[in-house]
Amino acid sequence: PAGVLLATCQIAGANNDTVVPFTVSNTGVLTAGATQNVGFDIGMGEVSAEGVFYVGELVNAQIRAFTVNNAGVLTALANSPFSSPGGSGQVRLDPSGKLVFSAPFGVGSLATNVRQSDSSLVPGTGSPFTDNLSDPFVYDFFRVDFQP
C-alpha cells in the first residue's frame, strides 16, 4: 500500500542527524523527499498508527515526537521532547500503541512510557527497569496473550 517511509541517518558530528522521507507508491516505488535536519543525535524510532513518529536521542534520555504528513514532513509535537528515565537510544511501540518502550545502547535498562490522548508521553510507574544484559543493542517487543 502507498504511504511514507522514514529513514533516519546518523551523520558525523554532534546534533547533525537527519530524517529522509520517502513516499511509497502502490507498486512499491520510493521517491525521496527533502532531507530534514533534526538537530540532535538520532536513535531508532517508530511511527504510531496515528502517524506520530517517536524517536530516541542517543545522548540525552529523551524521546522526540513528530507528526508526519503524507509527504513525510515532520512537525514537532507540542511539549516534545519527553523525558525517558533509563535512556532512549531505541524506541518501540507495543502492539496496542498505548506504551512506548525505550532503551539506551549498552546500559541494561528498559523504560516504559505511557501515551496520552494527545500523543504526549509520561514515564510509566516504576520505570526504568533493569535487565540482565550488559550491552543490549536493540530491544524488540512481542505481545503474548494467555488464554485460560
Does position 134 have pLDDT exceeding 60, yes or no?
A: no
Neighbours of 33 (CB within 10 A): 16
Average pLDDT of span 82-108: 78
Across the range 71-76, mean pLDDT stands at 84
Among candidate residues 128, 58, 122, the one with its CA nearest the CA of residue 90: 58
Q: What is the arithmetic mean of pLDDT over 27-36?
A: 85
Report the relative pairing of strands 129-130 and 52-57 from DSSP bridges.
Answer: unpaired
Taking 80 as the threshold, does the pLDDT of residue 148 lie above it? no
